[in-house]
Amino acid sequence: MSGLRMLVGSDSAGYDYKQALLADLQADERVASVVDLGATAESLDSCTYTSVATRAGELIMAGEADRAILVCGTGIGVSIAANKVPGIRATVAHDSFSVERSILSNDCQILTFGQRVIGLQLARRLAKEWLGYTFDPSSHSKANVDEIVSYEAAVAAE
């Protein structure tokens, strides 16, 4: 997939990795654009993982971005928060197989990492791998993704 419109973000606990991933995304020829959702050096104490993750989900659902990579201390908080946005499928993944399956089996739009959990070079490598995967809507996994989407729509209609 080429021309991805990417988002990257973090709270203070993921700031250093976010900065490295931002530079990598800006240099990747598969990426058309990157928007940094925070934290910044000036907002480290006030930027929450919740606000960054929900903003990323909202922008993706509005069609303003294709995917996001988010970082907090464990990757769990940003994943949970992003998944609260209707239509978003976000996951924390710290290994190649999970990164692969996040797209091929689940069509995830958001990948999250934990700066306190994973080494920087591995996070950078996994992010690069993740960009190379595309969901195949003719795969057997589409039925599972459709079931998730249908359930979410039914709950929203209640």
Is 47 in the active site?
Answer: no
Rounded to an integer, what distance in angstroms lies between the CA atom of residue 92 and that of residue 150? Answer: 23
Q: Positive or negative CA dihedral for 48, 54, 58, 64?
A: positive
Query: CA-CA distances (angstroms) from residue 21 to 13, 14, 118, 158?
Result: 14, 11, 13, 39
Rounded to an integer, what distance in angstroms lies between the CA atom of residue 62 and that of residue 154? Answer: 20
The single-letter code of the amino acid at 148 is: I
Whether 36 and 51 have beta carbons less than 8 Å apart is answered as no
Give Cα 105 to chain centroid, integer Å. Answer: 15
The single-letter code of the amino acid at 76 is: I
State the catalytic residue, choosing from 34, 47, 72, 123: 72
Active site members: 72
